[in-house]
């Protein structure tokens, strides 16, 4: 399986997708995972052990995005997940030609996805990580992510003096 992930814009936005990256790798251990980001966030993903390929897409012009879309389509991804939902990310997700394209149900762009995830107004105050997890839930991955209270880490016990 070939998976394309798209999250454009800033470093923090991409950092917030790392729990989803880990979950995808656990769910699809043999998949080839490609992540498409803009230059500011490239270093965050470059050394991530759950990503096999990094595509850095600077913001230039529409014709460059169409050329990138051709490159994505040629890679024949099985699944594309748009963690961003903006106009450019939606377009690139659609241009990828992946048979399964997951993204947020956003007015004017929902048609670009085969699987749409609602983001009702009452959910907007939630943390971005929770919203992105909804995209994985739509794929049938467990609907609950590990929280800090469920950590596998054990507390360090220091001897008392």
pLDDT digits (tens, 9 = 90+) for 54-102: 999 988 889 999 999 999 999 999 999 998 888 999 999 999 999 999 9
- pTM listed for this prediction: 0.83
43's tokens: 């270093």
Alpha-carbon distance 132 to 73, whole Å? 24
- Given a contact cutoff of 8 angstroms between Cβ atoms, the answer to whether 132 and 16 are in contact is yes
pLDDT above 90 for 142: no
Relative to beta strand 79-82, strand 2-6 is parallel
């Amino acid at each position: 399986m070939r998976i394309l992930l798209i999250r454009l814009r800033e470093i923090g936005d991409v950092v917030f997708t790392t729990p989803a990256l880990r979950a995808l790798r656990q769910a699809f251990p043999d998949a080839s995972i490609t992540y498409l980001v803009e230059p500011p966030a490239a270093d965050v993903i470059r050394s991530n052990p759950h990503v096999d390929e990094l595509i850095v897409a600077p913001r230039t012009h529409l014709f460059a995005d169409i050329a990138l879309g051709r490159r994505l389509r040629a890679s024949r991804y099985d699944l594309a997940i748009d963690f961003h939902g903006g106009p450019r990310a939606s377009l690139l997700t659609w241009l990828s030609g992946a048979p399964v394209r997951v993204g947020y149900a956003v007015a004017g762009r929902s048609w670009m996805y085969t699987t749409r995830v609602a983001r009702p107004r009452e959910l907007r105050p939630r943390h971005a990580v929770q919203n992105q997890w909804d995209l994985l839930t739509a794929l049938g991955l467990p609907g609950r992510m590990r929280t800090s209270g469920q950590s596998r880490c054990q507390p360090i016990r220091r001897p008392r003096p």
